[in-house]
Amino acid sequence: MSQLSYARYGKDNVRLYKVDKDEKTGIHTVVEQTVRVLLEGDIETSYTRADNSVVVATDTQKQTVFILAKQNPISPPEQFAAILGTHFTTTYPHIHAAHVKIIQHRWTRMNIDGKPHPHSFFRDGAEVRVVESVTRENEGVSIRSKIEKLLVLKSTGSAFHGFHRDEYTRLGETWDRILSTEIEAGWQWKLFKNLAEVKAIDFDAAWKAARDISFKVFAEDNSASVQATMYKMCDQILAAVPELDAVDYSLPNKHYFEVDLSWHKGLKNTGKDATVFAPQSDPNGLIQCTVSRKGAKAKL
């Protein structure tokens, strides 16, 4: 009559902090993450027959995150995700896949009197670095890295004209507008056969390349549209990091509307005279794309 068609379980929102203390220099390095682990396998009977013998308790999964964080580096987060996924799929014969998501929060070192401080940090924005991984027994490790919540704005160098017009169209064409978005960028790595292959990758360099390219293209492109600008970002990241299969962006177009102030003593604040704008919180455009390397294989 009925059958279990989807089953995954685990611990979400495991908050983790690790400090590395260099004894010689006294310099501390800190990492803070929020971890999610979801397991898959021969666990049907825990749902259908109240059989808890197949359940690796979610508390056990949380304890494992802390123990493996003590025994291994937790940065780069891609590597720690693969370490966790490999642990769960190799330790428990009936667990066949582990989905590990890690959100890495920013702690940026303070500069005091022009010098980097050895043990003081600040949160320099809402931006996070995210990893979504799947480790599947006998298949490998699939990893998607992401930047999220990175808010950017340019005050010129963006246009939008030549778009389709019909009886529903009210928007005027513009050759000079404000462009602002919250960058959500993802990059899918080629399928790794095992943890050793994961450990050979410089994930921090790829994250830096993706972030630098996002900034450089955003700043320097004479943007014809969000669509055209984001495609250039994807194309350049694929070229910079050969181990990637695909790059994707999801960009809200955060509109800034002109305010006509001519009713007040003829104040000029439209077109080339516009300096005061009304930022809009909603609705917003939402432009998405994925650009794949030709011939890339499917992910897990």
Which positions are annotated as active-site residues? 11, 58, 255
Taking a C-beta distance cutoff of 8 angstroms, is the pair 186, 128 a contact? no
Residue 253 lies near ligand URC (rule: CB under 6 A): yes
Q: Least separation, in Å, of the C-beta of 228 and ligand URC? A: 8
Residue 171 lies near ligand URC (rule: CB under 6 A): yes
Dist. CA 16–CA 32, nearest whole Å:
6
Binding residues for ligand URC restricted to 135-164, rule: CB under 6 A: 160
DSSP 271: G
Residue 225 lies near ligand URC (rule: CB under 6 A): yes
Residue 233 lies near ligand URC (rule: CB under 6 A): no
Q: Least separation, in Å, of the C-beta of 159 and ligand URC? A: 9
Q: Least separation, in Å, of the C-beta of 177 and ligand URC? A: 8
CB-nearer residue toward ligand URC: 160 or 249: 160
Per-residue three-class SS string for 39-107: EEECCHHHHHCCCHHHCCCHHHHHHHHHHHHHHCCCCCHHHHHHHHHHHHHHHCCCEEEEEEEEEEECC
State yes or no: 58 annotated in a binding site.
yes
Dist. CA 141–CA 200, nearest whole Å:
13
CB-nearer residue toward ligand URC: 113 or 167: 167
Residue 282 lies near ligand URC (rule: CB under 6 A): no
State yes or no: 19 annotated in a binding site.
no
Cβ neighbour number for residue 26 with a 10 Å cutoff: 9
Binding residues for ligand URC restricted to 183-222, rule: CB under 6 A: none
Q: Least separation, in Å, of the C-beta of 287 and ligand URC? A: 6
Dist. CA 65–CA 260, nearest whole Å:
56
Binding residues for ligand URC restricted to 55-114, rule: CB under 6 A: none
**Could you write out the DSSP letters of every residue in 116-154?**
EEEEEEE---S-EEEEEEEEETTTEEEEEEEEEEEEEEE
Residue 118 lies near ligand URC (rule: CB under 6 A): no
Binding site: residue ranges?
58-59, 160, 177, 226-227, 253
Site residues (vs ligand URC, CB under 6 A): 160, 171, 225-227, 253, 285, 287
